[in-house]
Structure formats: structure tokens, C-alpha cells
Structure 1
Amino acid sequence: MNPSIEKLKNLLAGPDLLTMPCCFDGLSARLVEQAGFPLTFMSGFAVSAARLARPDTGLISYGEMLDQGRAILEAVGIPVIGDGDTGYGNVANVRRTVEGYARAGFAGIMIEDQVAPKRCGHTRGKAVVERAEACARIRAAVQTRDSGAGILVMARTDARATEGFAEALWRMQAFADLGADILFLEAPQDEAEMERFCNSVPGPKMANMLEEGVTPILPPARLAELGYSIAAYPLTLLATAVYAMRVALADLAAGRTPERRVDFGTLRDIVGFDAHDDWLASFDRR
């Protein structure tokens, strides 16, 4: 059994809200870990942006996401939850996706109920599949988990934006009844909806704190009071990295060396140069 799965279970069983910055590559994941956060999430939006420079509209493939995930998992020891989108096809594809993410070493996987190709949850043009298909996806994921994959299943609905809040609640309850480990109602529109969701459906729940998104950004203490177990920050690292790179590029274009940067020694330390060189030197001494 992947030890990260037990770590994630223990974190979810604890009393504290889990603050979860989301990553997009090995370096961002390592920075999350070095900053002391107990877990991270591989964001589909962020991976699509960083790897392809394309929008989160179903353009990135299962194979590309899995490849990016392997690089992330090799870089850190904290539990990583992977964005599995719609499962990349029918229920057989959902099973393969869950199995693949589990073999790669993910502690959890998110499966959602959007029509494929899916879209970022805070953009226009979304659609969700019928109840039966939505439930079938989660049933397939849970059965795969219970058949030996072990990976935790996060079940997501985007029905709030298209079918209304009542339908989104129905789907969350249905996914809970099917055995999902974590529940994610995407894009509630106000604090009252967030509170009603937490009070209506059992089990750990995740809040998606996307800056300038549909859902209000609430302090961690308030999210904990409402009943959330995880606060995800899906694009905070990507957005701040883009901002910093643009500032640096503007400095270079103006003939200046950017001043706001980590030093070369810090970069070497983050990626493990000294440890690598010490290991090589140990062979020279033999």
C-alpha cells in the first residue's frame, strides 16, 4: 500500500483544516513541501497552462497528466491528490485512470461529472452529464479503489452552475452514498451555500479558493467553522509565478537585472545540487 494514502487518511481524520496550495510541476510541489504544507493537489488548469500554455478545456491528455504527476511525485514525500478530470472516457477509462494514478503514487484522485471535454469550473460553457452517468463514474472509481488500488476518491460536481444548487447537493449526497472519500461541490456562489453544503452532506469536503472566481474567498478559520476539511488554492502559485516572471522580463527589457529573486545558492539547494555532489564524491573516495 502506498504510504501516502495512509498519510492522507490520517490528515483527513485530524481536527484541523488542511490548507492545500496546488502545484503544477516538481519544483512547485517541492516548494509546497518545503514551506511545511502537509499535502498538495496537481491542478489540471495549472498543468495545462504550465506544460502546454493552453486553456483548461480538456486539451491535455491522460498520458500527459500522468507523466506530469510522476515528476511531481518523484520530487516530494507529502501526499498528492491528482486531477483526474472526467476519467478521460467511459467507466472503463475511469477505472484505467484511477489504476494509473494509483500506480504512479498519488494518494487521491478527483473525478468530476462534467461533459467531456471539460472546462475550468469557474468559466462559462460548462455542462454536466446526466445523474446516471455521473454516479457510474464515481461507482467505477470507488470499485477500483476497493479492488486494490487503495487511492482515495474525491468526487466533484459542477452542477451548481448549470442545474442549480439543489441538483449539486443531490449529486454530492449520491456520491457520498457511493463511497467517495472527499466531496467537492464546485463554485458555490455565496457563504450560505457553502454552509448548507457542509451541513447537508457527511464526510470530508473541499473548498476551492480561486482568486477572482465565483466562490467567495474565506479565511481558513471560517472555512473550518463551516465544516470544510480542505482549503485548496488551485492557481495561487501559478498566478504569482506568472506575475513575478513578467516583472523580471520587464526589468530585463529595460536593461536591469531583476532584484527580487532568490540567490543562486538557494536555487541550488532547492533542487539538491549539494546532496547530488556529495553523493558523487562518496564514489570518488572509494
Structure 2
Amino acid sequence: MRDYTRAEQAVAFLLGLTDADTAERVRARIGLPDAEDPEAARRRLYRAWGWGNGLPASVVLWILEQDDPALNLLIWQYLSLDAGLRRAVARGVPFGPGRTEPVPVEQSLREQEPDIPFGYVRHGLVGALREAGSMREGRAGASMVLTRADWRTVAEADAERPLPGYARWALSVRPDCPPEVRARFGSHRKFTNRVRDAGILDGPAVYATTYGPAASVLQVLSLGTWLFPARMREAEDALRPLVHDHLGAREDAWAVLAQLAETFHGNPRELVTTAGALA
């Protein structure tokens, strides 16, 4: 059996949000195979990381929350701009809620841990953050915040005396920054826009409905069973009413969706509503 194309992955994922009868009829109408075999699904899981648009930082965090050494190795390339996440993964820091046991780490990743910042060696964690007089220094200090205990230390230090703006910003754009800590650092529109631009999302529902291009988002969600199963229900619940209201059991609407999916530049919400309207 051949592998799905990206557009077929997107359509197949949305069909999974409908009833079995509708899915069967639509598959026959658009020529979509019934299902991929497990090996095909595994191949596209590993092939998916070639997407040019990358992944939002929060999606990377949801994958890290699996604390799966194989997945950590797979997404290592997406951590290149976040020294803190790279350091945490290289040291086996667990990300999953409630987990405390270290995650096994490939030796190749341990050897790629970023250098320890001089400011941290000289001043310690809080001292390095307080000394941050540039974004570079802010990012360097933030890269040493690794564990839940470190984040509590940061919150307590900021409560005692607000950290410099550069440090606050560098900490805020870390996807693993606890929401209650990030809320301490700012709430005005400019701040929240910058956080969003960094790929920090409120949850899977936001990713599923407002990110684009739609085919890439839906392709990632089609892999969610492997990548972030604990987060999938929220994404599915956000899309299911849209699929029901705009596509439903209308085979013509699904056919239009299949034709649009590959080249559509908008988000999944816009793709679904546009297909329904055109049909």
C-alpha cells in the first residue's frame, strides 16, 4: 500500500472526526485508501520533519512531554534556537506532568549540550538573570532554567524584586515556562503578540484552528497519536464542530476540501469553511 500524500493525511485526519458511514462514502468518492498500514504511518512520522514551516515551540514541548528518547532524538533539530530546551533534553530532564525520573539520553545528544554560560558560573542562576543587560545575556541566563524547581526559584526571585526586562523576555518565550510564571512577566498586547510570534500557544485548540498552512497543521495532528496523545482530544474537540457544520456528510464538500488542501495557505478553520462554502 502506498504512503499517503500530505493532503491525503489532512483529509484522513478530518474524516476521523466524522461517523464511519460518511468516512467510507467520502473515501470512495475521492479515492482515498481505507487506511495506512503501521509501517507506512511510521515512515511518514520520520519523514514529516522535513517540513519547511517548522513547528511552533509549544508543539515541540507537547512532544517533549512524552519523555520518549526516540522522539527526543527525532526533534532535536527543532531545539537549535533554544539552548535551554537542548540542555534539558541532553541532561534527561523529564517534561511530562508529574514525572521525576530522568529520561534516557543518547550519548550523541549529551555531547551536544550547549556550553555553560560564564554569567551562570560567576553569579549563579538568579544572579545571571539579574545581570542580564542584553538579550544575549538574558537568553544565556534563561538557558540554565531546567527543572520545575528552577522555575519556582525564578518566580520567587521575581516576586522579591522584578528581574530585568531581557531576562523576563528570554524566560517568557521558553515553551516550558509555566503559565503562571509567564503571567508575572507581562500581559499587554505587545508582550502577548511577541510570545505568540515565538510559537507559544494556549493549547492544541489554538494550534488546530488558527495555525497554517492547514495541510501542515493537519498533517502534524494526524501524527498526534504518536507525538502527543494526551493533547489530541482538545484539538479534535475544536475541529469536530467545524467539520460537522461545514462538511458534514456532503461528499461534494469533502471533494472540494481534498482539492484545496495541498495549496491552501490559510488555517484549518478557514480550509474547512471555504470548502463548505464553495461546495
What TM bracket, shorter-length normalisation?
0.3 to 0.5
Q: TM-score, normalised by structure 1?
A: 0.32
Q: Which has the larger radius of gyration?
A: 2
Q: TM-score when scaled to structure 2? A: 0.33
**Which is strand-richer, 1 or 2?**
1
